[in-house]
Amino acid sequence: MMLAAATLCRRDLVRFFRQRSRLIGVLATPLIFWGLIGSGFNYMRYLYPGTLVQILLFTSIFSTISIIQDRQQGFLQGVLVAPVSRSAIVLGKVLGGTSIALTQGALFLLLGPVVGINPGPLGWLAALGVMAVISFGLTALGVLLAWRFDSVQGFHSIMNLLLMPMWLLSGAVFDPAKAIPWVRVVMVGNPLTYGVGALRRVLTGEGMGLGLGIGVSAAFAAVMFVLAASFARRR
């Protein structure tokens, strides 16, 4: 199982590094948003963890477009008839997307000191760990959704409709405590809120408790992987 998963993960990584435009495209939009919307040193500092999660969110989800492309090219069908469990296939795709998201997120981490964020060596390592959990859960969600689509265009349209509200209502842009009641309820039910909160705690020492943030993020990741693997076995 692990050999098959590692092979699929490596394939996605090789594909990513051969398409450098993807690296520029995914990083450029959050950087522009961070620079323009976060004008003012203090707000740029507040917006930093949220912008980092934005990079992880879009990279993780859109990396799973490769599932649709592999299906259209016949590669996925070849893998599905091989003596490999569907769970291994899902794990390989999830690990590939997680690795790609971590690579791009790590590059953005280098900008932390620009706005006075420097949690020290252990803090940076903890941030990478939180990012890995967030990316794993989001990529598993992407696999679950991409497995249902037959066209890249359809996947893009639904994801664009889903992802931006999910990010905006995660505490990335404004403090949930200052939101109106019904918005606060939505934010509490948004799993991404806890990823943003955990990263904010690790990087700045502010926000929700680290245990709560990581706990909910890890539970979300586990549930999404189980659902993705279960759906892949049925289809």
CA distances from 134 to 126, 195, 197 (A): 12, 6, 11
pLDDT score, position 197: 93
Per residue in 70-90, pLDDT (tens digit) is 777 777 676 666 667 778 888
Dump the DSSP string for 118-129: --HHHHHHHHHH
Judged by DSSP in three states, 89 sits in: helix
The pTM of this model reads: 0.89
Q: Would you state the torsion angle of the CA atoms of residues 176, 61, 59, 50, taken in this order, to the nearest 10 degrees? A: 0
pLDDT in the model for residue 36 = 62
**Residue 223 burial class via C-beta count within 10 angstroms: exposed 0-12, middle 13-18, buried 19 and up:** middle
Q: Regarding predicted confidence, which is higher, 108 or 79?
A: 108
Residue reference for tokens 């803090």: 123
Say whether pLDDT at 220 is over 90. Answer: yes
What percentage of the chain reaches a pLDDT higher than 70?
A: 85
118 pLDDT band, cuts 50/70/90, is: confident
> What is the length of the chain?
235
Nearest-angstrom CA–CA distance, 155 and 225 = 19
Q: Which comes out higher in pLDDT, residue 8 or 162?
A: 162
Q: Check pLDDT > 60 for residue 62.
A: yes
124-150: pLDDT as tens digits: 999 999 999 999 999 999 999 888 888
Averaged pLDDT of the chain? 83
For residues 194 and 212, what is the distance between their CA atoms, to the nearest angstrom?
7
3-state secondary structure at position 166 = helix
Task: Please check the confidence at residue 41 and state whether its pLDDT lies above 60.
Answer: no
pLDDT-based confidence at 217, cuts 50/70/90?
very high
Pair 108, 26: CB distance under 8 Å: no
The tokens of 204 are what?
Answer: 């700045």
Confidence grade of residue 39 (pLDDT, cut at 50, 70, 90): low
Other C-beta atoms within 10 Å of 35: how many?
Answer: 12
Contacts of 12 (CB under 8 A, 6+ apart): 63, 66, 92, 93, 96, 97, 99, 100
* pLDDT number for residue 37: 63
Domains in the chain: boundaries:
2-234
Take residue 128 and report the two structure tokens written for it.
């990478």
Cα–Cα distance, 66 to 153 (Å, whole number): 13
Which residue has tokens 């963890």? 49
First to last CA, the chain: 19
